[in-house]
Structure 1
Amino acid sequence: MFKFFESLTEPLPPGEPEKPPETLVAFCRHYTRGFGKPLIVMSVFTALLAILEVSLFGFMGQLVDWLVVKDPETFWQEESSTLITMSVIVLVVIPILTLLHALVVHQTLLGNYPMAIRWSAHRYLLRQSVSFYQNDFAGRIATKVMQTSLAVRETVMKILDVMVYIGVYFTTMLVLVWSADPRLLIPMIIWLALYIGIQWRLVPKLKKVSTEQADARSVMTGRLVDSYTNISTVKLFAHTQKESQYAKASMKDFLKTVYLQMRLVTKISVLIEVSNYILAFCIAALAIYLWADNAITVGAIAVAVSLTLRLNGMSQWIMWEISALFENIGTVADGMNTISKTIVITDRPNAKDIVVTKGKIDFEAVSFHYGKESGVIENLNLNVQPGEKIGLVGRSGAGKSTLVNLLMRFYDVERGAILIDGQPITDVTQDSLRAHIGMVTQDTSLLHRSIRENILYGNPDASDEELLHAIEQAQATEFIYE
């Protein structure tokens, strides 16, 4: 049964990732593809459970009235059908609905939904240019992918689950109280207006602070990861204290947002608690007054007071759910700024794999200034013949590495063209271009994987014999086997 519900949605969708929209609603809808039907089913089950729960309060009031006026000896004969129906609802219908709701939420949505978002966002970001990653912390980008996937799930599910439950529950409750006596609605409507006013006034501020907090958290995480990633450099230059101060500054900035958030939460919590107790007092006082005037029954009082006490407990829960909703909206808005960025370097629609026959390289009037008006490379012409070995000599910053990066198409030239065997590199796919060029970078880069996986990264399909040959060629046999 669990596997069936787990298989209703695809956690790793096979389609090619597309650029996410840059507006909140469209962004959430983009990452909800494939999960629409389960979300609707969840909302339907939620609405039914809310209606049934409030209906039980109504039945409780009716039961109290029966116990006051009915004869115990004839009670069962007169009301047996109603009692049996309610027993079936309580013992069979509600448990089944609860089970189905839990299966859809926990098996179909909670796990697969954010994983599908992570998978799509990760594959899209892998297509970003090198400059995208050079302009941000790797840890910060990873954090935003992880946070945003969960935040999108929480935002959508809270709206379609929690908010639906609250809306249906309140509507059904107001109808039930109206049926008892319309005058009992007066304090409830006043309380509801006050409650909405508190939320309307303070929750948007909470959203703003939450957005700032999500960004501050990403910066803090990015700085920590940056220090850990480059720990050798930190140790070599004896900058442990400097790195501590670097992280401390981001932690202080993060704490500022936490304090602002907690102040708002305290204000909301106290205001709601006070309004709850005022509501409970007003409902009880009005109910007693109406009962003394023979306007309502004891059962109606039981329903009104019970719903008020239930409302008292729910209001705090609703407050936290709404606060969490806006916090997640803030996190989505923050992550959207990173994940939705347009990919600068893309393959042309008709791009083909490069065909290398000789290996001739031509730089034709190439200019590149990193987006500035001048500097680095200006009107460069260079021809590298097949099999020719050349050396680029120049001061630091003269553009030696930039030239190689342009050949690898990590950046696009601003003017001119680069050709390999007469083929402009902008006309071929990036993957095929880079697969035909062997490059040893200035920095030592190892993935956090096995030695075998790192060696085979350039040719994952190589045989064991080819692997051993590569190790021998690199004269790495001795220290690897140690």
Structure 2
Amino acid sequence: MKRAYRWFLGLIDPFAPADGAPPQALWPFVKWALSGSGPAIALTLAVTFTAGLSEIVAASFTGWIIDGTSAANPGFWLTFWPVILFGVIFFLIVRPILFAADAGVTSILIGPHLFPLVLSRLNRHTLGHSMRYFENDFAGRISQKALQTSRALTDVVTEVADVGVYSLAVFGGSLLLMASIDSRLLLIFVVWGALYIFALRYFIPRVKVRSAARAGARTQVTGQIVDTLSNVAAVKLFAHNAYEDRATLRELESFRAKALEFGELSSIFRMVLMTLGGMLPLFSILGALYLWTLGTATAGDIAMTAMVSTRLSQLTNRIGRVAISIYTNLGEIQDGIDTLAPAHEITDRPGAAETASGPGAITFEGIRFAYGGEMTALQNLDLTIRAGEKIGLVGASGAGKSTIVSLLLRLYDVEQGRILLDGIDIRDLTQEALRQQISVVRQETSMFNRSALDNIRYGLPDASDEEVFDAARRASAHDFILTLQDYRGRSGYAARLGERGVKLSGGQRQRIALARAILKDAPVLILDEATSALDSEVEAEIQEALEQVMQGKTVIAIAHRLSTIAQMDRIIVLDQGRIVEMGRHSDLLARKGLYSRFWDRQSGGFLGAQEAAE
């Protein structure tokens, strides 16, 4: 039994990857998302169809009983033992097993497996999108779309099997049963079926369109609320509760209008279906009575007709609800496809190397980049950084410093030119292989709502606890981590940091980010304003640790506080996407150029807004 159950569960691998990228047309996307689940879905449909046919057997049994009693001889057991035996086997053994199997394939095999199958594939594809994709949308909206699409597709499969195929079996069996009684009864069922199909074909496409509009409006509401709550500190500081409330109400009003349009059409659809549902038992029973008066139908035939038509009538309303649900879900799936399935802007080349090694020499050759627009961020950039060399990037806001780092990390692809890492075009490495060679500490640190231990260990997932503790000490983070405590009473390294590290100060977040980079120990280290949020005392502590960490590594440091990069091997001065000065700190000061003006005018070693404006 256990082996059979394991085989049963093994019909779907809920985490199997799909081949290629998701198609952007509905049915090819469904095929892509469900690929590999065919045997499980086929078994589900077969079991559900068989369960539906059991309804016809039950109706036939009733007719058999009624017709049998009219011709029965006295003696209960002698006359009815075949009926009793059949009833016991069918109603107490076969039918319960069929419906248990029907429930099992939908609630055990399909539901718990299809949802993670689809969601894991969508999540895997979403993670592969470029930074531009995430910058153009809300994180909450993207995640909701993935969850919504996965749930909707799972519901479609479940509903098609649980109601659609079941009803098809009942209707198909009913046609055969009516044909065995009289072709005129069959005609009533055929005409009713044609009217029912016509109603579905008329209403369902319209329901689908309005459903998609409602789903889109609901997503906008979610995006607005998530955007507000994600920036709740700014909302409070600017006293904009009312402003944000009005923005949410506007989105809610749009959703309400779309929901009303959907509800009005759904109500009319339900009324039509209920009318059709009432027509079938009325005309089919009247037809059976008429045939009985002609002597061509028996009392059992009337009973079978009544049972089958009444059952179909009861299914009519359920089919209508499910049809609306299915096409509502299809609308949500299409809406999700539009958001989630676009092709990746940045992809790995065929045959790209999956591993990389080297000391970290970097070359920028003829780089031009404009973020896809007309305003050039970098133009004609040529720069060679020797392995183990430490350079600082200086320039006013918008000069191109962060763009250089983003291109090196392949968060964007160069529009002209190429970037080499240890003599290899970075596009000839997989994105994973490239980024494994680079540690980054950014001004805007990324913290997960996980423990401090997990946040630091993110730099090297296989690191031991002691290695994590050592990295934290070197980043001057160990002492304050020991004082942390979350709302569940977890303390120290086990304490959760809150969403985006909200429970930490800016300096604490950057020290944890620095510890993460120290633990990763990649040959290239990028410091993007890595100490900007630290006070002077803590910065001095970390600066000493950084000097040790930077030994033997290629370092690219971006800083407005020029004192933090004064000891670099070279300082690169950028202006409007071009390199305008290059050299050591003392040499650049002697030139009396742009860097010298930055140094002379800064306050406390910080490149301020005045220089950014010049």
- Using the size of structure 1 for normalisation, the TM-score is 0.92
CA distance in 2, matches of 1:295, 1:460: 79
- Contact 1:17–1:121 (Cα < 8 Å) also in 2: no
Moved more, 388-397 or 243-252: 388-397
Partner of 1:449: 450
Partner of 2:23: 21
- Contact 1:354–1:423 (Cα < 8 Å) also in 2: no
What's the CA shift for 1:365? 1.1
Moved more, 166-175 or 149-158: 149-158
- Contact 1:17–1:123 (Cα < 8 Å) also in 2: no
Q: Secondary structure at the match of 2:368?
A: strand
Alignment of 1:356-375 (within 5 A): 356-357=358-359, 359-375=360-376
CA distance in 2, matches of 1:152, 1:16: 15
Compare the two structures and name the one with the higher helix fraction: 1
CA distance in 1, matches of 2:482, 2:247: 39
Partner of 1:12: 15
CA distance in 2, matches of 1:16, 1:321: 28
CA distance in 2, matches of 1:240, 1:473: 42
Instruction: Give, as a single letter, the amino acid of the residue that structure 1 aligns with 2:270.
Output: S
Partner of 1:349: 350
CA distance in 2, matches of 1:285, 1:32: 46
1:295 aligns with 2:266: no
CA distance in 1, matches of 2:431, 2:39: 38
Instruction: Give, as a single letter, the amino acid of the residue that structure 1 aligns with 2:273.
Output: I
Q: Secondary structure at the match of 1:458?
A: coil
CA distance in 2, matches of 1:464, 1:46: 52
Instruction: Give, as a single letter, the amino acid of the residue that structure 2 aligns with 1:9.
Output: I
CA distance in 2, matches of 1:470, 1:479: 14
Partner of 1:143: 144
Partner of 1:270: 271
Partner of 1:479: 480
What's the CA shift for 1:253? 2.1
- Residue of structure 1 aligned with 2:35, choices 25, 33, 36: 33
Unaligned runs of 5+ in 1: none
Instruction: Give, as a single letter, the amino acid of the residue that structure 2 aligns with 1:34.
Output: G
CA distance in 1, matches of 2:351, 2:278: 69
Q: Please list the CA deviations of residues 71-95 of structure 1 after superposition, one character each: whole Å capped at 9, or x if unmatched.
A: 3x15643453344224312211112
Determine what percentage of the aligned residue pairs are the same residue: 35
Moved more, 276-285 or 338-347: 276-285
- Contact 1:17–1:124 (Cα < 8 Å) also in 2: no
| Gap change, CA 1:86 and 1:157, over 3 Å in 2 | same
Partner of 1:61: 63
Name segments (4+ residues, structure 1) moved above 6 Å.
none
What's the CA shift for 1:53? 1.2
What's the CA shift for 1:223? 2.4
Partner of 1:109: 110
Q: Secondary structure at the match of 2:441?
A: coil
Alignment of 1:203-214 (within 5 A): 203-214=204-215
Partner of 1:415: 416
- Contact 1:139–1:225 (Cα < 8 Å) also in 2: yes
Q: Secondary structure at the match of 1:365?
A: strand
Instruction: Give, as a single letter, the amino acid of the residue that structure 2 aligns with 1:424.
Output: D
Partner of 2:96: 95
Q: Secondary structure at the match of 1:294?
A: coil
Q: Secondary structure at the match of 1:461?
A: coil
Q: Secondary structure at the match of 1:348?
A: coil
Partner of 2:439: 438
Q: Secondary structure at the match of 1:444?
A: coil
CA distance in 1, matches of 2:146, 2:361: 41
Alignment of 1:385-404 (within 5 A): 385-404=386-405
CA distance in 1, matches of 2:338, 2:117: 19
CA distance in 2, matches of 1:239, 1:435: 42
Q: Please list the CA deviations of residues 42-92 of structure 1 after superposition, one character each: whole Å capped at 9, or x if unmatched.
A: 211112111121121122122112223323x15643453344224312211
Alignment of 1:142-291 (within 5 A): 142-291=143-292
- Contact 2:363–2:421 (Cα < 8 Å) also in 1: yes
| Gap change, CA 1:52 and 1:280, over 3 Å in 2 | closer
CA distance in 1, matches of 2:135, 2:476: 32
- Contact 2:419–2:425 (Cα < 8 Å) also in 1: yes
Q: Secondary structure at the match of 1:392?
A: strand
Q: Secondary structure at the match of 1:412?
A: coil
CA distance in 2, matches of 1:368, 1:82: 83
What's the CA shift for 1:284? 3.6
Partner of 2:326: 325
CA distance in 1, matches of 2:432, 2:295: 83
Partner of 1:126: 127
Moved more, 418-427 or 449-458: 418-427
Higher relative contact order (CA 8 A, sep 6+): 1
- Contact 1:17–1:120 (Cα < 8 Å) also in 2: no
CA distance in 1, matches of 2:241, 2:197: 50
Number of equivalences = 479
CA distance in 1, matches of 2:9, 2:101: 13
Q: Secondary structure at the match of 1:447?
A: coil
Moved more, 418-427 or 126-135: 418-427
